[in-house]
Structure 1
Amino acid sequence: MRILDQEYRNLENEQKKLERNAESVNSELFTECQELLPMFGLSYIIAPMEAEAQCAFFETTKLVDGVITDDSDVLLFGARRVHKNIFDDHKYIETYFMEDIEKELGLSREKLVRMALLLGSDYTEGVSGIGIVNAIEVVNAFPEEDGLLKFRQRVESPDPTILGKLNTKSGSNTRKKGSKEPLPDQIISDVRN
């Protein structure tokens, strides 16, 4: 039953991605936009890889004042001012400042990257059973550069008393006793790189 639930969630995620792609600009509109922009005196570039990484670079080097995107991965790439819902029907724009995220939530860019490794993002599936609260607790409990590696070693420790030491403020464990599901090797290789 658990496998079916996971499969169902994976299918739902895939469906959401496909729906987003279906709503995106097709190649014909893309070409037309490229032709129109210079006519209006606007220059443009085509990002060599990930567009959010390119936008974050422009913003951190002060070539632009902020980044307009609905993809929060741009914060992982280093953007400091992000505007969301520009093209949405909500009729309001959300602006996120990295300075506020650091000050109010205590989450630096490095912590956000580690949280993305635990929770999942465009680049990793994350760790099964880790939610937002657990991810924050893990990155705060293991703040070192190799914190996720230390977390993995601690969770996989054969010492049964280790699990009792991982209790969170809410009294829950970050991993259920007796669980044999290891943390993915991808997490460790991502942390090392």
Structure 2
Amino acid sequence: MDRAKQRGPYAKTAARRADILRAARDSFAEHGYAGASLRDIAKRAGITHAGLLHHFQNKDEVLTAVLAQRDDEEWERSFTEADGQSSPRRYLAETLLQHQKTPELMRLWAELAASASRPGHPAHAYFVDRNERVRSYTAEAMRERAAEGRLPEGLDADSAAALFLAVLHGLQMQWLLNQDLDIIAPLNRFFDLILLPADGQNSTGTSA
């Protein structure tokens, strides 16, 4: 049997799932998680309700997939930016501003992350794995800066990573409660506090 034909059904399934996730993003952003329905998502994706259930068992599973997809996109982008030697400050600022364009998805992420802390939650394993992956990646970045002598005396890489993630998540939560709040300036100020400037650069440089 031709290899292309063998791949056909799998490619079609992947494309259909992508259509569903795009439709779900739009539905969640417009109606919120509670207001969105699988039937509305199916309609937007151009399939039947039964067709959607062939790919996802329930709305929780759809939401988890939507958020995981966005997370994967940002993870990939972070590596692209790093390869291009773009400033982490600039990357994070752009990411936060992008998130603010869809506050409903930010809110859903925060709600799901809290709910998934329960071991019995269907997204528990995903969030545990994600948290460890992000923590490990951030700690490694902090260790590189420690080796360059850029962490303040007495601040180890693991603690710097934990503080950074706490500030990042906390600022986003504050913005959800007050969307007039500027969270970029405090984030940059936090960078100034925990990351010493590289040789020959001032404390407000963008090499952090």
TM-score (norm 1): 0.32
Higher relative CO (Cα under 8 Å, sequence separation at least 6) belongs to 2
TM-score (norm 2): 0.30
Which of the two has greater helix per residue? 2
